[in-house]
Structure 1
């Protein structure tokens, strides 16, 4: 096995050799012209000069490099004390270069991550202000009109108060969803697992959203008749919210006279997959990776006219991932979309 020496040793060996050869040559020439040459003395002198030169050069080089490298470590450690200062200071240039390159790469990634987060934060604040601004201005407008004299007209008063109430309801809806998404993203999900029939849960969601679907003449249906219950192990309230959000989305983006179909299939031995399929407008391919981002809307104008907080799919994703399950989306623009998620089947 080859022995690897520090590069400073190699430098000291060569430097000491050059000094020793020069000193021996000078001594041989001097004694040749002025004295009789004593080769034993020359050998001892040469070895002494070599050893002395080696240790002096090695020590000086180590100290020279150490002082400068230590300054680099001290400067860098002000930025990141957890990586470099926890290690002994090295004077090996290859090791030092490797560590500095790694440090630079880590910092570059950290800066890029911070830039992405900052951009995400600005976008999030802009979205929040936009979502809250619309209903706030609506409520303010109706109340101001009433205060400016419309209060005496009973018909107009009732109409404007009802519209203002809808604006307040939307504000409450947005704030509730913001509170939930905050809890979900901080890990404060608090799932309460129970055993329940997923078929019955979907039927309940259909009943709740039947009037909304009827406004667009959309049919809510199963892919087949489920005669037997299908029991799953999950948080019933949270899963109902998932199904509700997905079915509401299918209605919102569905076409007039369309269909929203739910199917429940066995995936593996202890898993089922719930599919919510519509024949609506579909989603363009470039938008699919961003669907589960907060406030992301494919059709911003159309989606806002339909209401909602813009947080529905983000909440769905967090709830499903909180159950350690998977959510999928497939869509073809102009044909329709399918959202599906897995659940643990009761054994």
Structure 2
């Protein structure tokens, strides 16, 4: 299937500062892709180049096979939703949604029908005659979304559209936004620095760092099999263990962590025996035992801190001068030791060797 969007070696620099460096990326029809990364990583610049608001220094951007690299925004079949909604304050909700359809020259009957369909899609059918200031933040965000969808663009661009909402409403809108994308079948390119948003909504996440793609894949793949220290640390919390490689035959890697034998998944690397390697283990993969467990990996330590967080507790365990390992445990499970001397254990498949 031909991608709806293709970036081919796209580079954007501002003077000597490179914002996006030789980016190659395809987006499939109907796919929800999220560009994730810290401020300054190039994600918003990438989105703005696709929207026509920035022009690459080199490379090509194709939209449904058509080269749009040098075309202005109004000559591209895309639309964008910003974080400040950008609704026209002097127009009713219906007029806001109809605006783009009128520019396309649709007949009034077709516009009226389309506006009604979209308002029903987001359960705002009774709000057509209201003004933007009469709506809540979440309602205004839904109107901004369907206004952008009204002209039926080939892809919708979303530049941190939920960042102005409070935490509870943001969580609700995440689920609603994904549901709307699935119902319409449109391709969405979403930009955020919020890992939870990316994990919740995306079909595929593109993690960016310093203008380049650090890793891309499904939310499950990126969380469970991070390729680099940057990805492991940026998406969720993780324990990082500096080890030396003993052997690397097959899908498993044998390592030494300061005298403790460790077995881990290979990940994307092919480490050579005798070299150094960094291991990532998620806190929720760590199990605590009162006695030595029969697990592939196990080490003894002492609980130094316990932080209660409602549905889980975070334990920090000092491991005999080797450093600290953090574990997430169920605070209601009385079989789990939460103080004093404990044993830590984790499965080999829950530990992955990082690229760097």
Which TM bucket (shorter chain)? under 0.3
Q: Which has the higher contact order (CA 8 A, sep 6+)?
A: 2
> Normalised by the size of structure 2, how large is the TM-score?
0.22
Instruction: Please identify which structure carries the higher helix content.
Output: 1
Instruction: Please identify which structure carries the higher strand content.
Output: 2
> Normalised by the size of structure 1, how large is the TM-score?
0.22
